[in-house]
Every structure is written in C-alpha cells, then in structure tokens.
C-alpha cells in the first residue's frame, strides 16, 4: 500500500528526463516524436507503433552524477534496473519480470548501443561497454519482441550516445561517498562531410561493502560520413577495462548484523573479475530504388579472468554479427524484409586448486529471416503484422577428457509471429498487439550441469513466451498531462529456473510455466511548467502455474514498484527530489524467504552554463539514499544457504563539475 499511496503524498517529489523531445517553444506541451524507433528496427515511430514503447531524452548527461543505467533510465515504466553497488556482476535488468533468473549479467532482453547489439548469439547481454553518463536517448520496448531481434527478446533496450553539435571539448569530474571517483572527457571534430568524436572515462569506487572496490576504464570513437547524397556511413568503436572485487551475497542474518560485510567465502577465494572488452561496428544507410537499405556489421572481443568460490574461470570470447533490412512503401502499404547473422566463439577454462576441471571451446551460430508489413486503414487506423524464423546452433569441443569426451552440439529453432493495431488522434495513440519470443540457455547456463561434468546439459532447452498488451500514450493538452498506460499479459512455458549448489555454482533446469500480467503507468504534469511531477508505477502478478508451487510468486520480481519525483528548473538551476519504492519480494521458488519492501529517496541540485571567459561551468551535487534506508537492492534468486541478499549502499554525497570549452 505504501508504494501506491506515497506517489500521491510525495507531491514534492518526474525524472528530469522523460519521454518526448520538444524541438521548439511552440511544442511546449509535447508531441509524439516522428523519429523512427531503432528498438523496432526503425519500422515505426512513437506516433504509429503498435507496441508499448517508451522514449527517454536526457538533456543533462554531463551534470547527472549517476554512474549507472539505473540512474540514467529512472522513471521508465515496466523496466527494473538493480544497481548492486559494485562493478563485479553488472546491473540486473528486468522487463515485466523477464530476466529475473539471472544471478549475474543480463538475460532475456536485447540491448543495443548506437545500433550495435550488446546481446550476443546465445542471448546474454554484456553492458560493461556502456558509459551511463553519455546515454543521450533510450528506447524501451516492453513485452515479447522476437519478431524484431530473435533470441532473448522479452524486451528491448536501445541506447543512443550523445553527439555534440557545437562544443569541442567537455570534461567532467566527480567525487563522492563510498570512495566514488569519476573522470570523463569527450571531444568532437567537424569533418568536411561529417563528424568525428571521442571520449574516455575512468570510474573507481572503494565500495559500500568490504571486498567490493574496483576500477573501470572506458573509451570510444564515433563518427559519421556522408558518402553521397543518398548514402551515409556511421562507425563506432569502444573499449572497457575492468579490475574489480566481488563481495558476494549475504544471508538475512548477515545483512541485518552488518550490511557492509562481504561473504567470507568470496574474500577467502579472492573473488572478482578482470576483463577487457573491445568492439567495433559500422552502419551503412542508402536510399535505393527498391527502398531504404540498412546494413550493420560488428565484432566483439572479450577476455575474462574470474576467480569464484568454486573455480577460477578463464574465458576468451570472440563474437561478430551482421544484420540488414530493406524498407519500402507503396501507397498505403509499408514493408520491411531483413536478415540477421550472429556468431560466437568461447574458449572456456575452469581451474580449481591449479588443476583444470573444465576446458572446452563453445561455438554458437544463429541465422534468421524476418518480414513486417504496415497497412494504413484510412487516416487513423494502422495494422501491422510480421514474422521471423530463427535457428540457433550450439557446438562444443571438449579439451578435458578426464571424465570422457563431452563434445556435442544442439540446435534450437523458433518461429515468432506478431500482429498489432493502432488508432491515433494526433495527440494520443491507442494500440493492441500480440507477440511471441523465445530464449535459449546461454553457453554459461548450458555448461553448468548439476553433476559438474563437462559438456552441454542434455535436458536444457529454450523457454518460450506468448504475450499480448493494450494501451495508450500521448498528450492530454487541456490537462497539460503526458501519459503512458499499458495493460499486459504474458505466459512463459518451459521456464529456465536457477538452482545453486553449496559451493556457489549455479545451474539451470526447464521447470513448468509462468504467468505475468499487470498494468504500467507513467505520467508527467504539468507540461510547460518549471515545476513538474513525474510518476512511473507498475502493478503486476508474476506467478507459477504448475505444481508444485502453483500460485506462488516468482522470486526476484516485486509486485508493486513506483518511482516518483518532482523537478524544478529555471534559469539554469535544477532541483530534484526522487523516491524509489518497491513492495516486498520473494527470494526463492518456495516463497519462504523475502526481501522487505522499501522506499529510498535521492536529492539532486545543479546549475547549467555558468559562463566565465568563454568556458561553461556546470556544478552539481546529489545525496543518494537520503534517509540511509537499509534494504536489498538486488537478489540472487534461489541462492544456496539463504545467501539471497545484496545490500544497497547507504547514504552518500556526490559532487562534481562539468566544464565545456
């Protein structure tokens, strides 16, 4: 009840960066953007998309002290991003409950950065490469979306980096509690037929918990060239180097006694992560006689040294891919056809006490073809439909024969249809749709067997999703209100559930069915005012359908979640108070262990463009977790020994300045 009542009590408390851009003062009340949505493969805009798509435009990236996607995407409905307070495991991302099984990394959701997929062939997403301070735009597609991106598309998150138009050099420095340090610099050079930009950043934290210190270095180069009147080429490259320690999760008794402690097993094992992630890609767009042709190609290299309690994992990964599509229109009919290819090569070696316990080469290849049509039924109605066929092949060469040769291969395939209908009035869009998705086990999940032998788990297969939704989005001009409302239903069959052994090793099994249903609301009011309230709320029921456990809640997903904030901005001064609330959450399948509900509040103040001799200075300050609320910011679902809880950092002050030359 607190999560539902507080939004109305905290009328002192929208994220400063919600939804649609307003290119000029005449659009002060907002309008539906016509720019094509990249999360939907540029097949629709917000004015005609038959999907629950939410767009965030950030105007003050450099003066936002947040170092996580949780801060950058605050206020978006239907998506939960759990910042664990340390770098070792990455942020936990859920869309309508999809991805709840992940103890580390991101599962079940497609993530892209500047058009380059961060989700590789086996369905796992790697977000180390993202510098949150430079995320300018985010498109969030909720619900089954395999028709666009195939495997692991329970939702889509497409991030777009900032592109400066005039400033040549910007530098930002930040210091804060828990030993936080962050330095970021970026520059942009105009070219005769395009532009070229570069950035570099270094983040360090000693951590709110023991054994959680670490350093992250990121850098990248981006650019765009106009090859001809009808053809452009965009290029991007990035690197991320990480050296961090992992504190592990705690039992309830440990968290209540000392939430800053680390799991003693992790300290003894020196658990942590050293990784180097490199990637590069390019996108060619050309207007041809047949239509708009888009071709993207990319490559990724990643090395990982990961000491854990049960083994030390040494992984060298190469991944690559390409996707293309051709879009055309004839009268009232628009169409898109496309294909995707992804390739992954993992050289995995696990050691215990200096001896190999696993040594194998894992290869994944995926190939797909898709098509979409959009038919205008008069001036207000629009019908969309499409389908996609995917085949994903897993192969493994066993290099460790102490327990026999475990080499083998698996092929998983899926047909993913989707259909939708929209009705728009100019300011409002009403929509209804149905779609599907599938999610193969990742290579990490396939090789983690309950018996600890090598080779792929012989009985583990994909989980499948079917869902529908209805909603509206747009602007109520007389009320000066911008709103996004969605009702959704989704069924997951052959779900992938995590189990954990005593040594901390996690393995998975296909066990039964889930049902996810609920309502999501986002609102911003009043538009055009220096003082604005923003609310993002969700109420959902995420339950098991099969026995044993029928009717029990799915662990790791709160039924109610709310984010409420109020922002005042005038003459360059920005003030914001934001509250994040969630109901209690079960931590295990049997619903015997629970994380309490919470409310955490943040405060932010900043000032834009204090000019001194041609230099713009932008100071800012924030206080996170103002009331020092003790709660679990993330959960390790079904962890052995009751070690479910990852405590949130306590109250912390952060301050910094951004300087533009």
pLDDT, tens only, 60-117 = 666 777 788 888 888 899 998 888 888 888 888 999 988 877 767 788 899 999 999 9
Q: Is 272 exposed, middle or buried (0-12, 13-18, 19+ CB in 10 A)?
A: buried
Q: Does 619 have pLDDT greater than 60?
A: yes
Q: What percent of the chain has pLDDT over 90?
A: 64
Looking at residue 7, its pLDDT comes to 38
Least reliable range by pLDDT among 289-293, 399-403, 408-412, 437-441: 399-403
Q: Which residues sit opposite 519 in a β-bridge? A: 487, 539
Which single residue is written with the structure tokens 């395009």?
194
324 bridge partner residues: 295, 339
Q: Which of 433, 424, 324 is nearest to 386 (CA)?
A: 433
Report the pLDDT value the prediction gives residue 503, as an integer from 0 to 100.
65
Q: What is the dihedral of CA 132, 15, 89, 502, to 10 degrees?
A: 180
Please state the φ and ψ torsions of residue 62, each to the nearest 5 degrees: -70, -25
Rg of the chain over Cα atoms, rounded to whole angstroms, equals 24
Half-sphere CA count of 376, side-chain side, radius 13 A: 13
**Ramachandran bin of 129, using left for φ above 0, alpha for ψ from -120 to 50, beta for the remaining angles:** alpha
451: how many CB neighbours lie within 10 A of its CB? 7
Structure tokens at 49: 């998309």
Residue 142 pLDDT grade (very low, low, confident, very high; cuts 50, 70, 90): very high
Query: Which pLDDT belongs to residue 11?
Result: 32
Residue 322 backbone dihedrals phi, psi, to 5 degrees: -155, 140
- Arithmetic mean of pLDDT over the chain: 88
Question: What distance in Å separates the CA atoms of residue 466 and residue 515, rounded to the nearest whole number?
Answer: 10
The pLDDT assigned to 445 comes to 81
Is residue 7 within 8 Å of residue 562, measured between CB atoms?
Answer: yes
Lowest mean pLDDT among 329-333, 444-448, 459-463, 478-482: 444-448
Q: Which residues lie below 8 Å from residue 328, measured CB to CB, with a gap of 6+?
A: 290, 291, 292, 334, 335, 336
With CA atoms as reference, report the closest residue to 34 among 23, 50, 48: 48
Query: pLDDT tens-digit profile of 530-553?
Result: 999 999 999 999 999 987 778 899
| 194: containing domain | 2-660
User: In terms of Cα–Cα distance, which of 207, 276, 212 is closest to 246?
Assistant: 212
Split at pLDDT 50, 70, 90, the class of 23 is very low
Which pLDDT band, with edges at 50, 70 and 90, does 167 fall under? Answer: low
pLDDT band at 32 (very low <50, low <70, confident <90, very high): low
Q: What is the pLDDT of residue 300?
A: 97
Query: What is the CA 420 to chain-centroid distance, rounded?
Result: 24
Report, as an integer, the average pLDDT of 301-314: 93
Q: Please give the share of the chain, as a percent, with pLDDT higher than 70.
A: 92
**CA 274 and chain centroid, separation:** 22
Look up residue 376 and give its two tokens: 């205008």
How would you classify residue 504: left for phi > 0, otherwise alpha for psi between -120 and 50, otherwise beta? left
pLDDT at 433: 97
The answer to whether residue 132 scores a pLDDT higher than 60 is yes
Sort strands 53-57 and 135-142 into parallel, antiparallel or unpaired.
Answer: antiparallel
pLDDT at 51: 93
What gap in Å lies between CA 398 and CA 425, rounded to an integer? 60
- Residues 420/466, Cβ–Cβ less than 8 Å: no
> What are the pLDDT digits (tens) for 173-218?
999 999 999 999 999 888 888 999 999 999 999 989 999 999 999 9
> Residue 446 in contact with residue 456, Cβ under 8 Å?
yes
78 Cβ partners below 8 Å, 6+ apart? 52, 54, 95, 96, 140, 142, 155, 486, 488, 520, 538
pLDDT of residue 547: 75
Structure tokens, 387: 């389908």
For residue 425, count CB atoms less than 10 angstroms from its CB and return exposed for 0-12, middle for 13-18, buried for 19 or more.
exposed
Q: How many domains would you assign to the chain?
A: 1
CATH code, domain carrying 333: 2.40.170.20
Provide the 3-class DSSP secondary structure of residue 293: strand
Count of C-beta atoms within a 10 Å radius of residue 658: 24
Query: Where are the alpha helices (H) located in 203-326, listed in sequence order?
Result: 252-257, 264-269
Highest mean pLDDT among 389-393, 438-442, 456-460: 389-393
Residue 578 above 70 pLDDT?
yes
Considering only residues 449 and 23, tell me which one the structure prediction assigns the higher pLDDT: 449
Predicted confidence (pLDDT) per residue in 456-469, tens digit: 787 888 999 999 99
Which long-range contacts link 187-195 to residues 24+ away (Cβ below 8 Å)? 188/163, 188/164, 191/223, 191/225, 193/225, 193/226, 193/227, 194/223, 194/224, 194/225, 194/226, 194/232, 195/163, 195/223, 195/224
Give phi and psi for 447, each to the nearest 5: -85, -15
Q: Which helix (H) or strand (E) holds 521?
A: strand 513-525
- Dmax (CA) of the chain: 73
> 484: which strand partners?
473, 522
Model pTM?
0.91
Q: Are 69 and 127 in contact (CB under 8 A)?
A: yes
What is the sign of the dihedral through the CA atoms of 24, 29, 35 and 37?
Answer: positive
**Mean pLDDT within 596-614:** 86
Strands 110-113 and 155-161: parallel
Whether the pLDDT of residue 26 is over 60: the answer is: no
pLDDT band at 4 (very low <50, low <70, confident <90, very high): very low
Helices and strands (H and E) in the chain: how many: 6, 36
Mean pLDDT of the 251-269 span: 93
Q: Which pLDDT belongs to residue 8?
A: 33
The answer to whether residue 281 scores a pLDDT higher than 60 is: yes
The sign one gets for the Cα dihedral 141, 144, 146, 150 is: positive
Residue/partner pairs of 377-381 with CB below 8 Å, 24 or more apart: 377/332, 380/423, 380/424, 380/425, 381/421, 381/422, 381/423
Instruction: Tell me how far the alpha carbon of residue 51 is from its chain's centroid.
Output: 18
């Amino acid at each position: 009840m607190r999560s539902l009542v507080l939004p109305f009590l905290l009328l002192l408390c929208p994220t400063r960066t919600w939804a649609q851009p307003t290119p000029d003062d005449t659009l002060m009340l907002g309008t539906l953007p016509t720019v094509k949505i990249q999360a939907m493969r540029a097949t629709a805009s917000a004015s005609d998309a038959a999907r629950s798509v939410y767009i965030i435009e950030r105007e003050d990236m450099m003066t936002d002290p947040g170092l996580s996607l949780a801060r950058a995407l605050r206020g978006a409905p239907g998506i939960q991003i759990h910042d664990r307070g340390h770098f070792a495991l990455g942020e936990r991302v859920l869309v309508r409950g999809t991805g709840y099984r992940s103890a580390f990394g991101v599962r079940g959701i497609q993530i892209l950065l500047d058009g380059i997929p961060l989700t590789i062939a086996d369905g796992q997403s790697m977000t180390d490469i993202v510098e949150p301070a430079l995320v300018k735009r985010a498109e969030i597609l909720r619900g089954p979306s395999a028709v666009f991106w195939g495997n692991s598309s329970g939702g889509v998150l497409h991030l777009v980096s900032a592109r400066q138009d005039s400033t040549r050099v910007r530098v930002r420095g930040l210091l804060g509690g828990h030993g936080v340090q962050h330095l970021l610099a970026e520059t942009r050079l105009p070219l005769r037929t395009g532009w070229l930009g570069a950035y570099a950043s270094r983040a360090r934290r000693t951590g709110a918990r023991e054994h959680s210190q670490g350093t992250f270095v990121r850098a990248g180069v981006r650019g765009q060239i106009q090859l001809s009147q009808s053809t452009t080429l965009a290029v991007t490259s990035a690197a991320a180097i990480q050296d961090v320690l992992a504190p592990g999760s705690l039992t309830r008794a440990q968290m209540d006694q000392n939430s800053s402690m680390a799991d003693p097993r992790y300290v003894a094992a020196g658990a942590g992560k050293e990784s180097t992630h490199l990637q590069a890609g390019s996108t060619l767009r050309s207007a041809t006689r047949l239509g708009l042709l888009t071709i993207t190609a990319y490559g990724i290299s990643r090395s990982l040294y990961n000491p854990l309690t049960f083994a030390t994992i040494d992984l060298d990964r190469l991944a690559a891919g390409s996707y293309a599509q051709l879009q055309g229109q004839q009268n009232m009919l628009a169409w898109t056809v496309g294909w995707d290819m992804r390739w992954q090569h993992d050289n995995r070696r696990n050691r215990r006490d200096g001896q190999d316990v696993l040594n194998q080469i894992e290869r994944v290849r995926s190939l797909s073809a898709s098509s979409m049509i959009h038919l205008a039924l008069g001036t207000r109605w629009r019908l969309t439909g499409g389908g996609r066929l995917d085949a994903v092949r897993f192969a493994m060469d066993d290099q460790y024969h102490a327990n026999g040769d475990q080499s083998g291969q698996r092929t998983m395939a899926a047909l993913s249809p989707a259909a939708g209908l929209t009705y728009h009035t100019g300011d409002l869009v009403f929509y209804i749709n149905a779609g599907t998705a599938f999610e193969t086990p990742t290579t990490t999940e396939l090789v983690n067997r309950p018996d600890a032998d090598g080779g792929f788990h012989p009985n583990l297969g994909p989980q499948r999703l079917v869902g529908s939704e209805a909603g509206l989005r747009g602007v109520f001009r007389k009320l000066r209100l911008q709103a996004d409302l969605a009702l959704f239903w989704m069924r997951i069959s052959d779900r992938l559930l995590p189990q954990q052994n005593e040594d901390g090793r996690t393995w998975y099994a296909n066990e039964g069915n889930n049902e996810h249903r609920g309502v999501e609301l986002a609102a911003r009011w009043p538009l055009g005012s220096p003082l604005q309230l923003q609310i993002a709320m969700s109420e959902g029921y995420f339950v098991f359908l099969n026995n044993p456990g029928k009717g029990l809640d799915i662990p790791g997903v709160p039924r109610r979640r709310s984010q409420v904030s109020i922002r005042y901005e005038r003459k360059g001064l920005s003030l914001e108070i934001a509250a994040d609330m969630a109901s209690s959450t079960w931590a295990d399948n049997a619903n015997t262990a629970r994380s309490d509900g919470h409310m955490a509040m943040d405060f932010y103040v900043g000032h834009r463009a204090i000019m001194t001799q041609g230099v713009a200075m932008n100071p800012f300050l924030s206080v996170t977790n103002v009331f020092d609320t003790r709660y679990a910011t993330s959960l390790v679902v079904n962890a052995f020994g009751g070690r479910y809880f990852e405590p949130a950092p306590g109250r912390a002050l952060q301050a910094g300045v951004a300087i533009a030359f």
